[in-house]
Structure 1
Amino acid sequence: MTEIETQRLVLRRFRVQDAAAMAAYRNDPDIARYQAWPSPLTSEAATDQARVYSEQDPEQPGWFQYAIELKADRRLAGDLGVNLHDNLLQADLGYTLAPALHGQGYATEAVRAVLGHLFRRGLHRVSAECDTRNAPSARLLERVGFALEGRRPEFTLNINSGLWTDTLLYGLLARHWQEPATVPQPAAEATGLQ
């Protein structure tokens, strides 16, 4: 299954046509400072990346990057990656949302939808990492049920700034996952995960 729908979003396979919109939000300095990718992302590199994303298989071990599309205007809002482990029972999760869409509940809605999909598929555990400076992202993870499991001092080298940053480690077990009973209310949104 490569498409997941929510009330306001479609999480789908990337298309090459998504490259320009992806480059625009990934090149925003407030987004890039929490990420490990090189910035700026050129249009050629964005096209190549969108092509790679479009060929990934969500059922196989490795990364699958969902394009987060707004139903209202079919605009690319961001992306959400799932790294399925070789055992097919665990995954890592990361997300990025265009800055203009922060604070409207879109990232929370997307993360909850993907978590529900993964746990219904039979996954045992989902993990996530977060730059300690990215408080909105940490709050989002905790809001959807992740538990803070640790902190790695100076664990991630940001290739754009040359700074070593601390990383927060989060985990969520299937037995602790709770499907939301209501539509999530907008809250401060995260700028992304590594």
Structure 2
Amino acid sequence: MLRPFTAADAPAFAAYRSEPDVARYQGWEAPFSLAQAEEFVRDVAAADPTAPGWYQFAVEAGGVLVGDVGVGLHENRRQADIGYTLATAHQGRGYAAEAVRRVVAYLFEVRGLHRVAAECDARNVRSARLLTRLGFRQEGHRVQSTWAKGEWTDDLLFGLLATEWRTATGSRG
């Protein structure tokens, strides 16, 4: 289930963002403190998911917060970037694929966006595979383009157009 974050999510959010395997390819450092999580939850709870900028959806399974999907809506309101994080204990069960698929469907079919993009560290093979499985095309490979956690990393760039989504899903949106 995708839903807004609540204050009660902060401890679980801090816990999975503190996992070294979860934080490895992300822009934050582990451990991720409870104070950081509480601030994040406060900020996202006050955000408007239809306004330009970043908004995070909580991903819940069986009443438990298992991850999040972020949407960075561009100023033109016709395109967005997405990102996602899933707690290690809940990986490999299809939750990330289902959550990202639902967010992409919402962006194309409800919000009427033209394009959704994503990027990931080139070493994050599971993330790249997930995007490809969902119909994203790899559009680029930037070599040593990001300085992260004391090293230069390669970035893979992915994109998906609404027309491609409609063709792949049979949607008329």
TM-score by length of 1: 0.84
Question: For 2:29 and 2:41, how far apart are their aligned partners in 1?
Answer: 15
Question: For 1:68 and 1:125, how far apart are their aligned partners in 2?
Answer: 23
Deviation for aligned residue 1:45: 1.1
Q: What is the CA RMSD across the aligned residues, in angstroms?
A: 1.3
CA contact (8 A) 1:36 1:157 kept: no
Q: Which residue of 2 aligns with 1:5?
A: none
TM-score by length of 2: 0.93
Determine if the alignment matches structure 1 residue 176 to structure 2 residue 160: no
Determine if the alignment matches structure 1 residue 38 to structure 2 residue 29: yes
Bigger relative contact order, structure 1 or 2 (CA pairs below 8 A, ≥6 apart): 1
Determine if the alignment matches structure 1 residue 115 to structure 2 residue 104: yes
Aligned match for 2:138, one of 139, 144, 148: 148
Question: For 1:164 and 1:31, how far apart are their aligned partners in 2?
Answer: 19
Aligned match for 1:130, one of 90, 115, 120: 120
Deviation for aligned residue 1:41: 1.1
Q: Which residue of 2 aligns with 1:104?
A: 93
Q: How many residues align?
A: 168
Determine if the alignment matches structure 1 residue 12 to structure 2 residue 3: yes
CA shift in 2, pair 1:97/1:180, >3 Å: farther
The percent identity for this pair of structures is: 54
Aligned match for 2:19, one of 6, 28, 32: 28
Q: Which amino acid aligns with 2:161?
A: L
CA contact (8 A) 1:116 1:179 kept: no
Where do 4+ consecutive residues of structure 1 move more than 3 Å? none
Deviation for aligned residue 1:180: 8.1
Of Structure 1 and Structure 2, the greater helix share is in 2
Unmatched segments (≥5 aa) in structure 2: none
